[in-house]
Amino acid sequence: MNVSKKVLVTGGAGFIGSHLCEALLSGGNEVYVLDNLSTGRMGNLETCMASPQFHFLEGDLCDGIPFNVSLDWICHLASPASPAAYRKDPIGTIQVNTEGTRLLLEYARHSNAKVLLASTSEVYGDPEEHPQKERYWGCVNPYGERSCYDEGKRCAEALCYAYTQKYGLRVQIIRIFNTYGPRMQASDGRVICNFLEQIYHGEALSIYGSGEQTRSFQYIDDLLEAILLILSKEICTSPMNIGNPEEYRIKDVAQIMCELTHSCSEFRYSPIPLDEPRRRCPDISFAQEVLGWRPKVSLKEGLLKVIRSRRSW
């Protein structure tokens, strides 16, 4: 960003949040973080803590925002994001995406800050439209194991819309598709983490269903570039997909990871979990039009970076 800004990152000790904090500090911005460390780790912020422009408070967003400072942007990343994390605490997941989001929007309204909401491709559920455009309303089960996260994010989006309509609050919602990179937790439960840990422990790779279901994987650097473009250009428009439109079958991802790690791991097939999306791929034409952005890192290139960084997990 060309002009230094004051930015609050909720959930800043998490995988994506910590990378965002580093990128913001590198750009000369002043960064505030609120995180209850339920899924984030202080170790992720080790380099940030050395900067006088960085301010961290441990706390729960649902208790309010304890900072008393005029902000330019609030980047709302506070929420469990992996199935293992939100299944462990479904009520907390709903609360941070509903009451936590409401309190954040109130703070933004009174401090005249703009808001970036980190939503998710999960708002599309098990989509019947492919690839998914932002105008698609989704096919989501509101009464299931994934509903605390899926519906929590959908409610967070609805709250943002309501505050925009009633108060003129400036908000940008980004629907983040599967993102990976260094600092993912080994126990995360998502596919790349699972495969990598199983490979390193000499175990068979767990594939649910036939492995024909697809995902689109975005390297963390590409996501950060999109976020920084939004903040620098002060983009506040309708929801925007941010992801990599290259689509891969899960069993093909397993094969690629075996090749990159020179592993001979076998595949172990298990029943597919309830509400597991069959296909997931973003239409990013809106982001291309508004931001002039498109992901640059290929899956193999990004996986190699993660494989080399695994020793720091």
Q: What angle do CA 24, 25, 26 make, to 5 degrees?
A: 90
How is residue 125 annotated by DSSP?
A: B
Q: Cα(33)–Cα(21) distance, rounded to whole angstroms?
A: 8
Residue length of the chain: 313
Q: Of 32, 86, 107, 149, which residue is the catalytic one?
A: 149
Q: Cα(308)–Cα(74) distance, rounded to whole angstroms?
A: 32
289 φ, ψ (degrees, to nearest 5): -70, -45
**275, 126 contact by CB (below 8 A):** yes
Has 149 been annotated as catalytic?
A: yes
| DSSP assignments along 64-110, one per residue | --------SEEEE--S--SHHHHHHSHHHHHHHHHHHHHHHHHHHHH
Spatial neighbors of 22 by CB under 8 A, at least 6 apart, are 47, 48
Residues with catalytic annotation? 149
